[in-house]
Amino acid sequence: MLLFRRGTCRLIPDQARARTDDGTVVLLDVREAPEWKAGHAPGAVHLPLTRLLAGAALPPDAQGRPVVAICRSGRRSQQAAQLLTDRGVEAVDVTGGMTAWAEAGLPVVDERGRDGRIA
């Protein structure tokens, strides 16, 4: 079952949140650890693009599920979505990344679950 229409490769933040809210689709944050710790979307799963490029498998919470990749501005997540698609994963990314996510008024939490910031 395809959750993303053919040709769909990017979502705006509100679409990404709507797709990931029920847990069927995973939001995969591909930023580096300091960026993740400063602020990320609640419920997101973390795997830096550098590790993904080195061949790392998706975290257990993301395996076998469609993926919406997100980064700071959308460049790394676009690369991650293409890499995952090439590996056979149903994947898209968020245009504008976490910057656009926060600008849309969507929640951002730090590593302790408190109000976070985009680093």
pLDDT tens digits, one per residue of 22-33 = 888 999 999 999
Tokens of 69: 């990749």
Nearest to 94 by CA among 4, 1, 6: 4
Selected catalytic residue, list 28, 49, 62, 71:
71
> Phi, psi at residue 50, to the nearest 5°?
-60, -40
pLDDT band of residue 1 (cuts 50, 70, 90) is very low
Nearest-angstrom CA–CA distance, 82 and 71: 14
Q: Active-site residue 71, yes or no?
A: yes
pLDDT band of residue 49 (cuts 50, 70, 90) is very high
